[in-house]
Amino acid sequence: MGYRVAVVGATGNVGREMLNILAERNFPADDVVALASARSVGLPASYGDKTTKVQDLAKFDFKGIDIVLSSPGAKVSAEHSPRAAKAGAIVIDNTSYWRMDPDVPLVVPEVNAKAIAGYKGRGIIANPNCSTIQMVVALKPIHDAAKIKRVVVSTYQSTSGAGKEGMDELLSQTKSFFVNQSLDPRKFPKSIAFNVIPHIDVFMDDGSTKEEWKMVVETKKILDPKIKVHATCVRVPTFVGHAEAINLELEQPLDEVEARRVLAAAPGILVVDRRENGGYVTPQEVTGQDAVFVSRVRTDPTIDNGLSMWVVSDNLRKGAALNAVQIAEELIKGYI
């Protein structure tokens, strides 16, 4: 007997990727339902070599659904994720709404899979922010080996992190540049073509943005509440793939050779680190890949027990859809 799975937000970037990954990984589903808003009802949604039609989320009865993979936006999730859980489904939610709820586990399977057991409180498991996911996957083996005291991270986040509208804006502004036209920004606060923008999400009282705040509080919840994190999150003119320059201060010594060894042995990580032209990974190369890629591992001599590294991952896959499906896989292994 397989499971009945519903994908909420099935017409968005992440929802489409969730459907693709369920099929790619042969998730044992007897039935997969695609759900979205009323304006998308009847549109085709691909699931492997099958095509289903999108149904209306607002009218859908979740009774009999086992697992919901949800990525519709925070406000929609606030309304419909509890409704699905009340009907008996376990919701794996990719929005920001539930992440810091103390009764909702925040899970990256390679890092804290055992936290999944906490789903019984609300029937909901939260997927972390895309930039947090790839960072904590890379931090986990280092933390286990030498205990991380402090993280300083600068991100280089692709336009797909802002959805299809963000990708479309980059494309249209790039095209207009070559015909000597200018387009006013709509999705982003400034032009994204041939530019970088140190501003993702809203500003907070302390001067950080909410994206930066997410990286701080989510890392503490997932990995260790004692870790100090300082983030600067930047939108860059790429379509898919987030990159991060990470600087660590450790409690114990860990040389770069041992750091590479523990990283290479950890689940979900591929180390590509040759000190030559092209001996590192860039966002363009990770599109469609499942792993978190680590390059440029090196000692930081300016602090005691300092280490730096470059971390890249496909934000639509490991940063969102794949992580959610991996949580579902863990659920059916030992929890339902």
Extract the tokens encoding 164. 């299809």
The SS3 assignment for 250 reads: strand
Q: How many CB atoms lie within 10 A of CB 179?
A: 6
When computed from its CA atoms, the radius of gyration of the chain, rounded to whole angstroms, is: 20
Fill in the DSSP letter of residue 129.
Answer: P
* Phi, psi values for residue 276, rounded to 5°: -155, 170
DSSP H helical ranges for the chain: 13-24, 74-86, 109-112, 130-146, 164-178, 210-222, 256-265, 283-286, 322-334
Which residue reads 């999150």 in tokens?
Answer: 233
Closest C-alpha to 215, from 201, 194, 205:
201
Q: Which residues are catalytic?
A: 130, 242
Give the other-Cβ count within 10 Å of 274's Cβ.
9
The DSSP symbol for 164 reads H
In our burial notation (b when 16+ CB lie closer than 10 A, e otherwise), range 183-217 reads eeeebbeebbbeeebebbbeeeeeebbebbbbbbb
**Do 147 and 303 contact (CB within 8 A), yes or no?**
no
Instruction: Please say whether the beta carbons of 156 and 283 come within 8 A.
Output: yes
Amino acid at 315: N
